[in-house]
Amino acid sequence: MNNEQGPVAVITGAASGIGRGLAEQAAQQGMRLVLADVDAQGLQALCAQLQGQGAAVVACVTDVADASQVERLRDVALARFGGVDLLFNNAGVMQTGYSWEITGRQWQRMLDINLLGVINGVRIFVPLLLEQGRPGHVINTASLAGFLSSPLMAPYNVTKQAVVALSETLHYELAMLGAPIGVSLICPGPVASEIMASNQAGDEAGQSFGALLDSSIRQGMTPQALAREVFAAIAEKRFWVLPHKDFKPALEQRVRSILDETNPQFQMFDLPGDAHAAR
C-alpha cells in the first residue's frame, strides 16, 4: 500500500448514524474507505455520495456476527487497498423491554451483533495490523450504557459493558507487546441516528420506553460532531472518547455505591435531548 494515497479505514455499521458520520469525516481527511453494513442500499448510496466527492471507497455488505463475512471484509480491504490502518468496530442494534420478557432469540441477536461483531473485528483484523508492523488504530463504539445501566435496556447494557471490558483489555495487551497500535473507545450519550429502528420490543413497557428513547436520540449530538471528536482522540492517541460530560455525577454515585457496598439506585442524568445511557 502507498501511504501517500492516504490511510485506509474500515468502518462497520457505516450506512447510517455514527458510522456514516465517521465515514464522512474520514473521507474529508483524505482516507481511503472500506465501508460495511447489512443495509446494502444505504451503503451503496453513501459510497456514491463519497465517490462523487472524490473519495476512494469500496462497499462490502457485511453481517459482523458472521466471522466468515468479517474475514471477507478484511480480504476486500487487502485486495483493494493493500492494507488497513484504522478499524472502526461500530455496528450495533437496540433492544428494549423487561429483561425476562426479552426472548432468547432477541438476546442472542444483541450478543451476536453488539458484542460478537466487535470480537470478530478484533480477532480478524488485529493480527493483520500486527503483521503490517506500522502504526494502526482500533476504535470500538460502546455507549454511556457501558458504564451505567438503565432499566428496560438489559441486552444493550450487557453488550456495551462487555465492549468496554474488551477494549480496555486490548489496550493493555497491545501496550504489553509494545505494538504501534492504539485503541480508542467511543462512549457517547444520545447521537442522532436510526438505531431504534432495529428495536424489536414486544412488551408494552419496552415499546413505551423505546418510543421515548427514539425521540431523545433523534435530538442528540449529530454524527458529524461526534466524528470530529473521535478523530481528534485518534490523533491524540487517546483511549476514552466521552463527548457527553454530564453523566459524571451519576458515574461517581455508582462508584461510591460499589466502594461503600450500598444497593445501587438508578439515577437519571441530563443530556441533550433528555436521553441517557444510549448511543
Q: How are strands ordered across the β-sheet holding 136-141?
A: 57-61, 32-37, 8-11, 86-89, 136-141, 181-186, 240-241
pLDDT in tens, 175-187: 999 999 999 999 9
Average confidence (pLDDT) over 53-76: 98
Active site members: 156
pLDDT in tens, 203-247: 899 999 999 999 989 999 999 999 999 999 999 999 999 999 999
Domain span at 13 = 3-274
Is residue 254 assigned to a domain?
Answer: yes
Question: Could you tell me the pLDDT band of residue 135, with boundaries at 50, 70 and 90?
Answer: very high
Is residue 60 assigned to a domain?
Answer: yes
pLDDT in tens, 77-86: 999 999 999 9
Is residue 200 assigned to a domain?
Answer: yes
pLDDT value at residue 3:
38
Whether the per-residue pLDDT at 4 is higher than 60: the answer is no
What domain count does the chain have?
1
Is residue 279 assigned to a domain?
Answer: no
Whether the per-residue pLDDT at 272 is higher than 90: the answer is no
Mean pLDDT, the chain, integer:
93
Q: Which residues contact 44 (CB under 8 A, 6 or more apart)?
A: 59
What CATH number has the domain bearing residue 74?
3.40.50.720
Is residue 155 assigned to a domain?
Answer: yes
Is residue 248 assigned to a domain?
Answer: yes
Burial class (CB in 10 A: 0-12, 13-18, 19+), 177: exposed
pLDDT value at residue 273:
34
Q: Is 0.85 topped by the overall pTM?
A: yes
Is residue 116 assigned to a domain?
Answer: yes
Is residue 141 assigned to a domain?
Answer: yes
